[in-house]
Amino acid sequence: MTTKKFIEIELVHGLTACTKRQIATAKALGLSRPRDKKVHPDNAASRGAAKKIEHLVKITEVVSK
């Protein structure tokens, strides 16, 4: 039985004072307002996008069966 790893990304700060690139990254992750949460597969692309805006988000690992 394989388990799939996911990461839950929550936007904890607003996007008001952010650069256009940071806003675009947040939108690409599906985050637009504070307290928005999205679940993404745990891969290099998702982790890299979250790392670009790590000062704005909280990342939690989720394991699914």
Q: How many domains does the chain have?
A: 1
In terms of residue numbers, what domain contains 29? 4-59
Q: Residue 18 domain-assigned?
A: yes
pLDDT digits (tens, 9 = 90+) for 1-54: 678 899 999 999 999 999 999 999 999 999 999 999 999 999 999 999 999 999
Q: Residue 43 domain-assigned?
A: yes
pLDDT in the model for residue 3: 83
pLDDT in the model for residue 1: 60
Specify the CATH number for the domain of residue 12: 3.30.1390.20
Q: How many CA atoms lie within 13 A of 7 on its CB side?
A: 19
State yes or no: pLDDT of 64 exceeds 90: no
Q: What angle do CA 58, 21, 16 make, to 5 degrees?
A: 65
pLDDT in the model for residue 2: 76
What's the predicted TM-score (pTM) here?
A: 0.90
Q: Residue 50 domain-assigned?
A: yes
Q: Residue 64 domain-assigned?
A: no
